[in-house]
Structure 1
Amino acid sequence: MDTSSRSSISSRRLVLLLALYFFFVLNLPLTTRLAGILEGLDGVSAGFVLSIPVFFVAALNLLFTLVAVKYLEKGIFITLLLLSSAVSYAMFEYGVVFDRDMMANIMQTHRGEASSYLNVASVLWFGLTGLLPALLVARVRIEHGGVLKDLRWKGVSVLGSLAAIGLVAAGYYQDYASVGRNHNYLKQLIIPTYYLSSAGGYIDQTYLTETLPWRPLGEDASVARPHRNGKPNLLVLMVGETARGMNFELNGYPRDTNAFTREQGVVSFQSVSSCGTATAVSVPCMFSRQSHDDYDAGQAGRQDNLLDVLSHAGLDITWLDNDGGCKGVCERVATRTFRPEDGGPLCDGDYCQDGVLLEPLHQALERPGSQDRVLVLHMVGSHGPTYYQRYPAEFAHFTPDCRRSDIQNCSARELVNTYDNTLYYSDYIISRVLTALKQHSNEWNTGLLYLSDHGESLGESGLYLHGMPYALAPEQQTRVPLLLWLSGEFEREIGLNRRCLQQQAREGRFSHDNLFDSVLGLMGVSTRVYRAELDMLAPCRLG
């Protein structure tokens, strides 16, 4: 190929242009948030405002100068442009923050979930801000001098960047310190430094950190048998996806999102918080013995969880998954995963609607057995942004709905309607499970516990979806629904006082931390790892 006709640019000039481009274009989520903060402050000096682009461009110029290594720089810059464009879109349009937990969530995302984020807006954004500049970098010929000349300009560039940063700090340190202290989250919006450090932390924790020895829990677990009425206990534990408690009719929401269960004796716990704001964190955490405050993914992944302790006690455990995987929770129990690519009337190749869980549930209920049993149904529930694909057309109860994935371009009414339709359909699925349990009450003492993994933002404060760092996450992402239903015989079997239970649900404050011990207590499992103080039902069990 004749390269003589190709445009050329010096390495130092390319670095400066990229620094300018990253700040003024790809860091739009940061600059818009900064603009809003500065508008709300009194007495902001014009010099401080003008110093902000100088500071960030100098810092980015310093970073890019250090990675501008001959023969490698083109590949590095192209990769950064493509990744940063995708990150910038997610941050600007949905308010996503790419911390370590989000990196774990991304790494565990299946193809259908990833494709749901593709739409005209995201493709245009990526094409114009990522692909186009990446192609320009790929096409241009980067000029270098000799080794000494390159080292000389690198030294000048580094010193010049440091000098600019130093001058800004000397003149406006107090302003930067004040804004930084009061809005500490701003560092999480800087592209590309924050998502790169998060990715590095995830890789280190997941692949480079020494594997901890396995820690067994509850190996002494047992259940007193036979039960007083001679029937085994059966609990269906439904793990919801992205359902927020404030949109449940049973929690006071003024729409009939619980139209199918409100008359079925379900008890709704009013104040329940999640362990995390993303499935990859919340699901392992809620099944672990650790709490939100001390949760460590590495430790939790190397010790027995709730399902293991139930298995130690001799219970029959089955996990039915319709949400892309159990995040390691079900590795040691019988599992069936529904694969959208296998097809079927309720699957579109990317997702299956939760109706696929009903037939295998019926099959499990009809399978005879004398062991106590726990069936876990992991739902796709209200997973966004393509909410409209989570429910059949006949469950479009609230209209007009938002039938697109770029949900930020729907009206607030359309978006809430679509989201509420997912809850309406989930409530229908819960009611079908309840009906099945009632039909099998002659063979089992039956119960159902529904608990979502995290909530969802629907445009409040400019945020969409979920995954915000927990310390910054709004209530919409952390308040989750928890429903409990027990047959009369199950209640009598465990000596449960229903009036006390209803008061607990109405007045108590609970979280994912309570699941581990509450299920052990509910199923009558005796073990040293059980903690009565975390069992939501313990105060309401007689004797």
Structure 2
Amino acid sequence: MIFPERRREITQTKLLVIVSLFFVVFYNVAFFQHVVGVYPVSRQNIGFLLSLAVGLSAVIMLFMSVISSIYTVKPLVIFFLLLSSVTAYFIDNFDIVFDHTMIRNIFTTDRDEVADLITLKLVYYLILLGILPSLVVFKIKIAQISFKKNILYKIRDSVVSVIVILGLILFFSKFYTSFFREHKPLRYYTNPTYYIFSTGKYIGDILSTDDSIIHPLGLDAQVVRKNGELKKLIILVVGEAVRADHFSLNGYPRETNPLLKQEDIINFSKMYSCGTSTAYSVPCMFSAFSKDEYSEKKGKTNENVLDLLHRTGSIDILWRDNNSDSKGVAVRVPYQDYKQPENNPLCSDGECRDEGMLIGLDQYVEQHQERDILIVLHQMGNHGPAYYKRYRKEFEKFQPVCTTNQLEECSNEEIINSYDNALLYTDYFLSQAIAFLKKYDQSRTAALLYFSDHGESLGENSLYLHGLPYNIAPEAQTHIGAFAWFNSNISKNIPLKMKKTKDQRYSHDNLFHTLVGLFEVQTKEYKKDMDLSSN
């Protein structure tokens, strides 16, 4: 039977109700899995669990009602269906949370990192939860009503949604009290509501930040040292996604640091990161603010330790980057992109190797003989999920390996093997950096500092990669690899002190003051008790 055209029409309200229920059922699997972990399915909890489904539907309905009209409802619904299908993939498979920091990561990531995240399963999610429902919505005919009625219906739908939400909260108040106060992280998994909230917060932060106003740091900074002392040459390596418990230097049973263990390394076994993502941790670790004081806004509007050191007029600084970029840290100092073959001679198959950043450094040192030097090398390191791309074939010691970016297709053993092989390559790269510094035993006081930006989850409790909000992130994402190495020209008191305290709990907060202390910079910004090298 062929229906008249008008009988195939649907009201805007009915469309939004159906779409809201569709979101709850198909895009919030991970959310309800986490909820059931706290509130198991039982006679006592079943009413609350059903109220959560209805309440979340009402929240989505309220949001859609407010932002849409008869003319825009279909494009907006299609947009959120497509976007939420992608976020559902990452939430369901990697337990990733789309908070405002993750939104910032998305906007600051590069093309190669995005390519590593595209998998066949992601395409399935996009087709089944994004494209197919979008086609259905596209073909639906929305019943046309007057502008006045549209406003009235919008108000009606919004009021009903609010009444439903408040009614459920009041009726199940005992449950919702604990849900909102004791189990706040559960809401991080709601889709699309939380990423919408996070995007709004991210945009608000951008609009409230005036990047043209940069507060100076260390206006009083000056290098103070005795005449005749050797110039300093320090390499700071910013690692990528290296968790402390996979460093054999920290007791990991696999030998992931075979070359570093042959050096006189001072290993910091209890070093913790400022954040769980590169975009947050890197600016934070170079800032003068502690983890508890730091914010993205402060990072953008305040100079960092590189600016302070450069301000002395006695220290030359070079940043070489084989990762995405410096995340705003090196915008006022010389910066070189080593993810490009034009600069990095060790690139093939779209992957540039970290060791390429060492090539040509001897010429740079030669050109700056009369000054202290700080060289920052930002590694690609253990960037996931394509760990197998991060090392050359000769470093594939641990087998079998995961040779795809689709971690769901690999066993946990294969994922860990690939990750540990990438660590072997990092061990080699760091040993090469130390070998480079050893050439200056007769002419400079040399040191190498290594700090990973954050850790990495490798399947524990079904968590992968990194980026969870710090307050719920596992230690695997915050406990990082870190160490120091010095040549024989350093004051003997420094390594002696470090070796005595190397197993104390430290964090990225110590980096700022350690760099200032090693370069013997006098400034009111310096805190001696935060300097790993102070004696």
Bin of the TM-score, shorter chain as denominator length:
over 0.9
The residue that corresponds to 1:272 in the other structure is 271
The correspondence of residues 349-360 of structure 1 with structure 2, limited to 5 A, is 350-360=350-360
**TM-score scaled by length of structure 2:** 0.94
2 CA distance for matches of 1:120 and 1:466?
A: 21
Deviation at 1:281, TM superposition (A): 0.9
Query: Secondary structure of 1:471's partner?
Result: coil
Distance 1:360 1:409, change over 3 A: same
1 CA distance for matches of 2:225 and 2:117?
A: 50
Cα-to-partner distance string for 1:135-180 (whole Å, 9 max, x where unaligned): 3222332222233443454444334434433443343221222233
Query: Secondary structure of 1:239's partner?
Result: strand
The residue that corresponds to 1:30 in the other structure is 31
Deviation at 1:483, TM superposition (A): 1.0
**Contact persistence 1:347–1:353 (CA under 8 A):** yes
Distance 1:104 1:348, change over 3 A: farther
Counterpart code for 1:503:
K
The residue that corresponds to 1:523 in the other structure is 519
**Contact persistence 1:212–1:299 (CA under 8 A):** no
Cα-to-partner distance string for 1:337-360 (whole Å, 9 max, x where unaligned): 123465977435654221221213
1 CA distance for matches of 2:482 and 2:243?
A: 10
Most deviating of 375-384 and 195-204? 195-204
Deviation at 1:57, TM superposition (A): 2.0
1 CA distance for matches of 2:427 and 2:326?
A: 22
**Does 1:179 pair with 2:179?**
yes
Query: Secondary structure of 2:237's partner?
Result: strand
The residue that corresponds to 2:255 in the other structure is 256
**Contact persistence 2:209–2:301 (CA under 8 A):** no
Choose from 489, 499, 502 the match for 1:502. 499
Most deviating of 161-170 and 60-69? 161-170
1 CA distance for matches of 2:64 and 2:128?
A: 21
**Contact persistence 1:341–1:349 (CA under 8 A):** no
The correspondence of residues 133-152 of structure 1 with structure 2, limited to 5 A, is 133-152=133-152
**Contact persistence 2:338–2:344 (CA under 8 A):** no
Deviation at 1:67, TM superposition (A): 2.7
Counterpart code for 2:267:
S
Cα-to-partner distance string for 1:225-281 (whole Å, 9 max, x where unaligned): 5654x5311001111111111111111111111011101111101111111111111
Deviation at 1:415, TM superposition (A): 0.9
Most deviating of 17-26 and 28-37? 28-37
Distance 1:359 1:76, change over 3 A: same
The residue that corresponds to 2:531 in the other structure is 535
2 CA distance for matches of 1:289 and 1:319?
A: 19
Deviation at 1:51, TM superposition (A): 2.7
**TM-score scaled by length of structure 1:** 0.92
Runs of at least 4 residues off by over 6 Å: 3-6
2 CA distance for matches of 1:291 and 1:60?
A: 37
**Contact persistence 1:103–1:198 (CA under 8 A):** yes
Distance 1:264 1:31, change over 3 A: same
Deviation at 1:64, TM superposition (A): 2.1
The residue that corresponds to 1:168 in the other structure is 168
The residue that corresponds to 2:444 in the other structure is 444
Counterpart code for 1:530:
Y
The residue that corresponds to 2:318 in the other structure is 318
**Contact persistence 1:99–1:188 (CA under 8 A):** yes
The residue that corresponds to 1:412 in the other structure is 412
1 CA distance for matches of 2:265 and 2:19?
A: 58
**Gapped runs of 5+ residues in structure 2?**
none
**Contact persistence 2:256–2:427 (CA under 8 A):** yes
Deviation at 1:199, TM superposition (A): 0.9
2 CA distance for matches of 1:236 and 1:71?
A: 58
Most deviating of 403-412 and 466-475? 403-412
Counterpart code for 1:391:
Y
The residue that corresponds to 1:308 in the other structure is 307
2 CA distance for matches of 1:366 and 1:4?
A: 80
2 CA distance for matches of 1:328 and 1:48?
A: 45
2 CA distance for matches of 1:234 and 1:265?
A: 18
Counterpart code for 2:273:
S
2 CA distance for matches of 1:158 and 1:214?
A: 43
Counterpart code for 1:538:
S
**Does 1:76 pair with 2:81?**
no
Cα-to-partner distance string for 1:372-410 (whole Å, 9 max, x where unaligned): 111111111111111111111111121111111121331
1 CA distance for matches of 2:36 and 2:513?
A: 47
Distance 1:63 1:364, change over 3 A: same
1 CA distance for matches of 2:6 and 2:114?
A: 40
Distance 1:109 1:455, change over 3 A: same
1 CA distance for matches of 2:192 and 2:240?
A: 30
2 CA distance for matches of 1:421 and 1:518?
A: 30
Deviation at 1:369, TM superposition (A): 0.8
2 CA distance for matches of 1:100 and 1:176?
A: 24
Deviation at 1:68, TM superposition (A): 3.1
Query: Secondary structure of 1:485's partner?
Result: strand
Distance 1:20 1:372, change over 3 A: same
**Does 1:238 pair with 2:237?**
yes
The residue that corresponds to 2:52 in the other structure is 52
Count of aligned positions: 531
**Contact persistence 1:84–1:191 (CA under 8 A):** yes
Most deviating of 74-83 and 378-387? 74-83
Distance 1:223 1:343, change over 3 A: closer
Cα-to-partner distance string for 1:407-458 (whole Å, 9 max, x where unaligned): 1331111111111111110010000011111122222221100111111111
Most deviating of 188-197 and 175-184? 175-184
1 CA distance for matches of 2:235 and 2:343?
A: 26
Deviation at 1:27, TM superposition (A): 1.5
Most deviating of 190-199 and 268-277? 190-199
**Contact persistence 2:455–2:476 (CA under 8 A):** yes
1 CA distance for matches of 2:146 and 2:341?
A: 55
**Gapped runs of 5+ residues in structure 1?**
none
2 CA distance for matches of 1:107 and 1:266?
A: 37
RMSD (Å) for aligned C-alpha atoms: 2.3
Cα-to-partner distance string for 1:208-231 (whole Å, 9 max, x where unaligned): 444574321122222235654x53
Counterpart code for 2:240:
E
1 CA distance for matches of 2:332 and 2:45?
A: 61
**Contact persistence 1:222–1:525 (CA under 8 A):** yes
Deviation at 1:65, TM superposition (A): 2.4
Distance 1:7 1:226, change over 3 A: farther
1 CA distance for matches of 2:238 and 2:526?
A: 21
The residue that corresponds to 1:20 in the other structure is 21
